[in-house]
Amino acid sequence: MKTAFRLSVLAAAMSCTIATPILAQGAPSAEDELAAMRAQLEALASRIDQLEGELAQTKAENAAQDAVIAANAEAVAVPAPAPAPAAELEKKDGWSFKPRGRLMFDVGSTSAPDSVGADDGFGNEVRRARLGASGDLPGGFGYKVEFDIAGDEIDVNDAYFSYETGNAEIAIGQHNNFQSLEELTSSLHSSFIERAAFTDAFGFERRIGASITYANGIFLGQAGVFTDNFDDTATDNRSVDGRFVIMPKAGNAQLHFGGSLHYNDLGEDDATVRYRQRPFVHFTSTRFVNTGNLDAESEFGAGLEAAVVAGPFHASAEGFWQNVDMRMDVANPTFFGGYAEVGYFLTKGDSRGYKGGKFDRVKPVNPLGDGGFGSLQLNLRYDHLDLNDAGILGGVQNGYQASLIWKPASNTLFSINYGRMDYEDAVLPTGDGDTDYGVDAFGVRAQVDF
């Protein structure tokens, strides 16, 4: 293109130059004409070079402008994603604040023989509605506070501060004492909408106290001294609790073996204990097994626990013996509760979480929001509670339970539960005096947490 342009300009210039002496009058000599022609050609060539340089500069400037326009258009069409809001607010001086909460809504029904007179049928409740926060404090300290606002009153759940040093953590305040894998596993991560019967029947709960937890490799040790729950600080209860866990691995399988001890001095001269339990679901207040109030000086409990998580499969089993030191000159009863369960994920790649000596959150491999289905887990459990001993007929409850848990995402859960409770020596007899009969319970849960 440049060569053709040069030739066309030169040709035009030469034609004009040649024509000039023909038309001119009194033409100069041939040497003068040739010199003039050379000068004109040199001037034209210089002008052509100048024009070509200006053209190249103009093209470069236009290309740069086009690139800027395209970049601006792309930035407008596809804006950069805004940063996700932080779940934890941190400060440089060692403070942090992480809000936390959970909401569980249960609905279902219970069915007992009509002549028993039990308050059965449809039931529903906000099982848990908790709000709280946890975080760090300067100097290596931490804290956790949670309040339950599901009922008519605001109840304190966890309320403690802690300090970590090496492999140990010291906690002071209201928190779980160390009884049972089932009790220490968060309600967010349990296999059924209610824990095994013995945990509630024997009064496992958070209490005010001081404790130490030591973890090193596969070993976990926990011990503490406690008084009572925030709602019962007027009592003279003084307890000592301890738990030891071994958490080895066998190939890809996570194993769990543990045991716990509990001693509670009731303190008061007129102190009593009572052991009782609902028929699987919490939204009914009816108890078919109940020891009534027992005059007691102290209670001593011992538990054994075992579990395994292997890919989609898990199994766990526990037994707990609760002995009561009676105040009167009578035999001391020992009551027993325990369970055995198995579970299996029907969705590929999912497995039950396990961390720090207890079951942990299930995180679906293919959550619903990312085009997957979430996780689907089937669980079966046999649950046994025996409150008959030493002349006390509190009743025996044998539970046969099943649950189907769907987690569309890590923090959302829907669960369907069924339980068949077979009773011996139930405290509510039928119209003809029969105390051996069955009760059915059905429950559905919707759950979310953050």
pLDDT digits (tens, 9 = 90+) for 149-189: 977 788 999 999 999 999 999 999 999 999 999 999 999 99
Q: What is the mean pLDDT of residues 248-271?
A: 96
- Summarised one tens digit per residue, pLDDT across range 201-218 is 999 999 999 999 999 999
Helices (H), strands (E): how many in the chain?
A: 4, 23
**Structure token digits, residue 407:** 């987690």
Is the distance from CB of 149 to CB of 128 less than 8 angstroms?
Answer: no
With a cut of 70, say whether residue 63 has pLDDT above it.
no
pLDDT: which is higher, 317 or 78:
317
- The gap between the terminal CA atoms of the chain, to the nearest Å, is 69
Q: What is the mean pLDDT of residues 116-140?
A: 95
With a cut of 90, say whether residue 301 has pLDDT above it.
yes
pLDDT: which is higher, 61 or 196:
196
What 8-state DSSP symbol labels residue 16? Answer: H
What 8-state DSSP symbol labels residue 366? Answer: S
What's the residue count for the chain? 450
Q: Give percent of the chain above pLDDT 70.
A: 80
pLDDT for the residue 64: 61
With a cut of 50, say whether residue 11 has pLDDT above it.
no
Q: Is 370 helix (H, G, I), strand (E, B) or coil?
A: helix
Query: Which band of pLDDT confidence, cut at 50, 70 and 90, is reported for residue 59?
Result: low
**Structure token digits, residue 55:** 């053209």
Strand partners, 240: 225, 263
- Going from the C-alpha of 70 to that of each of 62, 64, 141, the distances in angstroms are 12, 10, 53
* Side chain identity at residue 377, one-letter code: Q
- From 6-10, 42-46, 68-72, 202-206, the region with the lowest mean pLDDT: 6-10
Cα separation, 89 vs 96, in Å, equals: 6
Q: Which residues lie closer than 8 Å to 224 by C-beta, 6 or more apart? A: 171, 177, 178, 209, 210, 211, 212, 240, 241, 242
Query: Which band of pLDDT confidence, cut at 50, 70 and 90, is reported for residue 16?
Result: very low
With a cut of 60, say whether residue 350 has pLDDT above it.
yes
Q: What is the mean pLDDT of residues 366-391?
A: 96
What 8-state DSSP symbol labels residue 386? Answer: E
Identify the helix (H) or strand (E) that includes residue 183. helix 181-184
Range 102-126+167-449 classified under CATH 2.40.160.10 = yes
pLDDT for the residue 72: 53
Q: Is 201 helix (H, G, I), strand (E, B) or coil?
A: helix
pLDDT for the residue 61: 67
Give just the sign of the alpha carbon dihedral 287, 155, 442, 305.
negative
Q: Apex CA 157: angle with CA 131 and CA 281, to 5°? A: 90
**Mean pLDDT over each residue of the chain, to the nearest integer:** 88
Cα separation, 179 vs 205, in Å, equals: 9
Q: Where are the domains of the chain?
A: 2-77, 102-126+167-449
pLDDT for the residue 114: 94
Q: What is the largest CA-CA distance in the chain?
A: 156
Cα separation, 243 vs 321, in Å, equals: 15
With a cut of 50, say whether residue 143 has pLDDT above it.
yes
Distance between alpha carbon 143 and the CA centroid of its chain, in Å?
Answer: 18
* Side chain identity at residue 271, one-letter code: A
Q: What is the mean pLDDT of residues 110-120?
A: 95
Q: What is the mean pLDDT of residues 383-399?
A: 98
Q: Is 73 helix (H, G, I), strand (E, B) or coil?
A: helix
- Going from the C-alpha of 145 to that of each of 88, 98, 100, 137, 251, the distances in angstroms are 15, 11, 9, 13, 38
- Summarised one tens digit per residue, pLDDT across range 396-438 is 999 999 999 999 999 999 999 999 999 999 999 999 999 999 9
Q: What is the mean pLDDT of residues 113-134?
A: 96
With a cut of 60, say whether residue 81 has pLDDT above it.
no
Cα separation, 181 vs 360, in Å, equals: 11
- Cβ neighbours around 406 below 10 Å, total: 18
Cα separation, 309 vs 307, in Å, equals: 7
With a cut of 70, say whether residue 62 has pLDDT above it.
no
Phi, psi angle pair for 195, to nearest 5°: -70, 175
Cα separation, 70 vs 48, in Å, equals: 33
3-state helix, strand, coil in the chain (%, to 5): 20, 50, 30
Is the distance from CB of 441 to CB of 110 less than 8 angstroms?
Answer: yes
